[in-house]
Every structure is written in structure tokens, then in C-alpha cells.
Amino acid sequence: MINLPHSFGYLRSRETLARSQVLQRSWSLMIDLSVAGICLACFYGVVLLARYWFGHPTPQIEISLSPRALPLYAFYSIVRIWMAYALSLIFAIVYGYTAAYNHRIEALMIAGLDILQSIPVLSFLPGVMLAMVALFPTRQIGLELGAIILIFTGQVWNMAFSFYSSLKSLPRELREATIIYRFSPWQRLMQLELPYAAIGLVWNSMVSVAGGWFFLMVCEMFVLGTRDFRLPGLGSYLQTAASTGNGSAIAWGLFTMIAIIVATDQLVWRPIIAWSDKFKFEQVETTSRVTSPLLHLFQNSRGLQALQKHTIQPIAEAVYQRFAENRQRLLAATAPSTPRAARNRQRGISVLQWIVLLAVVGVIGYAAIHALYLLREVKRTQFLQIMGGAMATFFRVNTSLLLASLWTIPVGVAIGFHPRLARIAQPLAQIAASVPATALFPILVMALVQMGGGLGTASILLMMLGTQWYILFNVIAGAMAIPSDLREVAQLYHFTTVQRWKTLILPGIFPYLITGLVTASGGAWNASIIAEYFRVRNQTLQTFGLGAIISAATDSGEFHILLLATIVMAGMVVTINRLVWRPLYHLAETRYKLGG
């Protein structure tokens, strides 16, 4: 005898299962079609860029303020920012790795990084742009590469500091495990160092891209002596709209930029943050994970799984195997059979190092002599003005850092500790960090002037708007990297708020906080070129400071003043880093290093 209700229930469950399988296959098919569509769109974008970049340069491009021009302008700006980011990521990994493991030149490389991050974008501008235009005099690609390299100089330094700091704070037991299992340098990089540095690198990547948007207005439209360089893009659109006081065009430009930032957050950063969460260094499974529906769909796509299984994994295994074999052969070939062979080999390496060192010193010496010859044109009154401006900018930079730290540290810890809050606050922070404060600066200046303030106060606010995100995003990364088991222990023993901050939170975020403060300090000095010298409605507003001197010297083509002001700014930043930040970095590497 057949039990009809039971049979109907069985049929219903079979039908539900079949529907879910069909739905899952449909989603997988949609993802595969979307990936194919993205690849076709990228191919068309490459063709469009090739036609524009390799075409003849336009003497002076007129920037249209029509909203219809925004899609093409936005496309050009997005390409420049992401190409600059790709260069920044490669540079950060190579530079940070070399500095962390080559102890002979570590101090020199970190000093160089201090100097480079303190040099304003406008100080790079004359040499970079003139060199690129000279390399490609008959093609548009010269101006484009110049703009990309300038954006690169505004993105890369905090990423390099982040990766270097992560390598220096690697737990000792993880290093020893790679030695025991005889990892090759490539295998150690891919399976230990990059995963361990992933959280800090991702959050610093976000603030670097935001910094690219901040300096986009400077890099796409600027005056160099008698030459006017313009590139079609969202930055030049916003700068033209701000300089003419066109409120409607500013609104359209900001709306487009915010739409791009929101799309980037949902399509790029949210999945990457969810993916990087698995690299958190902890010994127990956390109960709260960052999630991303888009990442879930990609991970469950049959087409991408097949590509991973049949293409990426075999290639990765072959690469690891080849590196391991090459390492074994290299060790066997370089192993000296006698002490005399070892001494001869060491002597040969020393000779090669001396040759390279002498060549580098010769090039630097030649450039330094010509630079000193250029400084002979600086008058005594100009020198005193530069030193006074340096003191004024120093005060503004430190005031902006203090004001930014007061709110970014508690807010960053709250966002890093609560994934639900992060899902809401992180996109808002990304939008706020990416919107160029220079686009809002005319309104800010007018409001402060009416309230009785001036550009001196407004410049502090603009510095803070441009650099506070370095602190916030690093604090978020540090809070997210604190192992869940340590947080649970603090909760188990009923730590008070003061005890949690003193024994868990501040020590846990300390390395990230120092990285954020160092890069924010350099970013504030860099932002002074915009904060202290600004054009609005065909007027030039400026306040006394080193940034205003650099901007004015760039506009007038006075390269001797530009060089001396840049040297003074770099010298002040390096001195502060040596006296303040470097000892704190050492403290983070020794006392607040996570390990067993």
C-alpha cells in the first residue's frame, strides 16, 4: 500500500532540490557570461586607448563641461589611476622586500623612501613630463605616461611602507617553518609573506587609489612655465569647473566620481577584503567573517573553477617546481669546494658591488653638482622666505595630523572590530577619501572667509581631508589583523575599556598606526602644494608656506626656487622620520611584534 502524503513530500523535496540546482547552474552561467563580457569590454578599451595614445598630440585640449563628455573623461581617468596603481603595487613589493632582507642597504633604502614620499607631486612634474614628452614627441602617449607616473608618485609610498612593515613584523615561528621546509624565496613570498601582508596591503591600496583621485586634478591639468598641459579626464573636468565657478559642472563631476567609487567598492574592494580576511594570523576560528556576495558567486562559478583547476594550478605547480630545481642547482653550483674558492668567489662579488656602487655614486655626483650650480641663483631673501614658509607649513602639517588622529583611531578600531559596521562605514569612508577635497575647496574657502577665517585655516582642513584616510585605513587594517582569540581572552577576563586599549588594542594596531602616521605626515607635506596655493574663479588664493612657494615656482618656471624648496621639505621630513618615526618603527618591530 502506498503512503500518498509521504510520496508527495518526497516528490516536493526532489522538486525543490532540482529547482535549486537549476538556479545554481543559471547563476554560474550568468557569471561565466559576465566574465566573458568583461574580457570583451577590456579588449575594446585597449583598442580605444591604443588609438588615442598612439595618435598625434593635441596642442591644447579644450575641456568640455558638458555632462555628455563625462563618460569618456571618466574612462580615461580610471585607466590612468589603475595603471598607476599596478606600477605602485609592483614597486611596493620589490622595494619593500629588498629593504627588509638586504641589511646592508636597508637604512639607505628607507631613508630614500622617506625622501621620496616627502617630495610633492609638482616637484616631480617638470622632469617627468618633459622627459616623457621628449621620449614620444609625436605621440599622445608621452603626456599619458607622464600623468600616470605623476599619479604613481602620489600612490606608492604608503604601500611600500606597509609591505616593508609587514615583513619586519613576521612571526618568528613562521619564518622558521619556511626554513625547515626549505622554501625557495619565491615560494616564501607567495605562501607566507604576501598572505601575511595582505590585509595591510589591501587597505593601503584603497587609500592609495583614493590618493590617486585626490591628485588627479593636479596631474591632468597644469601649467609649466609658458606651456599649458591638459589631458581629457575627470580631474581636468573638475579643475576647469572649480576654476570657473561652475557649480552645476562640479556637481555632475562629483556625482560621476562618486558613482565610480561606489562601483569600485562593490566590484573590487569588497570581494578583495572578504578574500584577504582568510589570511588573518589567529589560532582559533573566528565567528564573524567579512562576506561578499560577488566573491561567493565567483568562487562558485563552474567556468572559473575549471580555469583554476586545469590552467592556473598546473602553471603554479610547474613554476614552484622550476624555482625549487633552479635553487638546488644554484646552491650546488655556488657551493665552494675549498676555502680558496670561497675567498675568490667572495672577492669577485665584492669587486662587482664596488663597480656598481662607483657607477651609482658617479651618476648621483654628476646630478648633484649641476643641482648645486642651479642653487647659485637663489638670493638671500628667497632663502629666508623658504625657511619661514617651511616653519609655517610644519605647524599646519602637525596640527592636521593631531586633529585627524583624534577621530580616526577610535573610529578605525570600531570599524575593524565590527564587520557589520565595516560593511556600512567602509564604502562611505572610501567615497569620502576618494572625493578630491580640491573640488570642494572653493566652497570651503568662501565659507571660512565669510566666517572671518582665511586660507591659513582652510589649508589645515584641506591637509586633514587629504591625509586623515592614511591613518584611518591603517588603523582599520590593524584592528582587523588582531587575532580573534586575543579579543576573546580580553572578553573572558572582563577587561575594562582602559585595560583593553592599553594591553590589546594599542599594542595590536601599533605597527599599522605608525605606518599610517608616517605616510599621513608625508601626504600632508605633499598636500600643502594644493592647500596653500589655489585657483578659483580665475583668481589665485595663497597663504604663506612652503607649499605655496613650490606651486608658485612651478607656475613661473623658477626651477632654482623649486629645487631649494623641495630640498628643504625633504630634509625636514627625513629629520622628523629619523628623530620620531624611526625609533617608533623599531619599537613596533621588537616589542609589539605578534608571535609565539
Residue 559's pLDDT is 78
| CA–CA gap between residue 38 and residue 31 (Å, rounded) | 10
| Residue 591: pLDDT over 80 | no
- The residue among 564, 548, 566, 574 whose CA lies nearest residue 392 is 548
Give the residue with greater pLDDT, 11 vs 15. Answer: 15
Query: Which range among 79-83, 230-234, 376-380 has the greatest average pLDDT?
Result: 79-83
Question: Secondary structure of 548-569 in the HEC alphabet?
Answer: HHHHHHHHHCCHHHHHHHHHHH
In this prediction the pTM is 0.69
The model's pLDDT over 553-581, given as tens digits with 9 standing for 90+, comes to: 877 778 788 888 888 888 888 788 788 88
The model's pLDDT over 457-504, given as tens digits with 9 standing for 90+, comes to: 778 887 887 778 889 888 988 888 888 788 888 888 888 888 888 888
Mean pLDDT of the region 320-345: 60
pLDDT band for position 167 (50/70/90)?
Answer: confident
Work out the number of other CB atoms within 10 angstroms of the CB of residue 394.
18
Kindly report which listed range (17-21, 34-38, 462-466, 470-474) carries the lowest average pLDDT score.
Answer: 17-21
pLDDT band for position 88 (50/70/90)?
Answer: very high
φ, ψ (nearest 5 deg) of residue 222: -155, 160
The model's pLDDT over 250-271, given as tens digits with 9 standing for 90+, comes to: 888 888 888 888 888 888 888 8
Question: Secondary structure of 35-56 in the HEC alphabet?
Answer: HHHHHHHHHHHHHHHHHHHCCC
pLDDT band for position 338 (50/70/90)?
Answer: low
| Count of residues making up the chain | 596
- The residue among 586, 162, 580 whose CA lies nearest residue 397 is 580
Report the mean per-residue pLDDT for the chain.
77
| Residue 328: pLDDT over 80 | no
CB under 8 A, 24+ apart: contacts of 244-247: 244/65, 244/537, 244/538, 245/442, 245/536, 245/537, 246/65
Kindly report which listed range (90-104, 276-290, 391-405, 424-438) carries the lowest average pLDDT score.
Answer: 276-290
| Residue 368: pLDDT over 90 | no
CB under 8 A, 24+ apart: contacts of 381-389: 382/561, 382/564, 383/564, 385/549, 386/546, 386/549, 386/561, 386/564, 386/565, 386/568, 387/568, 388/544, 389/544, 389/545, 389/546, 389/548, 389/549, 389/565
